[in-house]
Amino acid sequence: MKVEPVTSLKRQASKLLADLHASKEPVLITEHGQPSAYLVDVEDYEMMQKRMSILEGIARGEQAIKNQRVLSHSQAKEKMNKWLRL
């Protein structure tokens, strides 16, 4: 992963963006030698957001199972039929 100080971002933003789009490699931006932010390609960011959404849905489902908030197949089918009629 490429690491750049915030001053490079300020002075060479266009070059850093061009390199980012070409390599698709995230850039770690540092301030005073400490990690401050990541610069990532838009497509990669959107993909990460989609993956996060899927993982959150799985976690909610696992929690529902753990809390025994589940429906039988026939109950779920009936509920979906009501929902689809609206």
pLDDT score at 62 = 96
Q: Whose CA is closest to 32, among 64, 10, 7, 57?
A: 7
What is the distance between the alpha carbons of residues 49 and 32, in angstroms, rounded to a whole number?
A: 29
pLDDT score at 46 = 97
Give pLDDT tens digits for 2-11: 999 999 999 9
Which CATH fold would you assign to the domain 2-40?
YefM-like fold (3.40.1620)
CA distances from 23 to 16, 40, 69 (A): 10, 11, 46
DSSP assignment, residue 28? E
What are 67's two structure tokens?
Answer: 């809390």
pLDDT score at 85 = 81
Residue extents of the structural domains in the chain: 2-40, 43-85
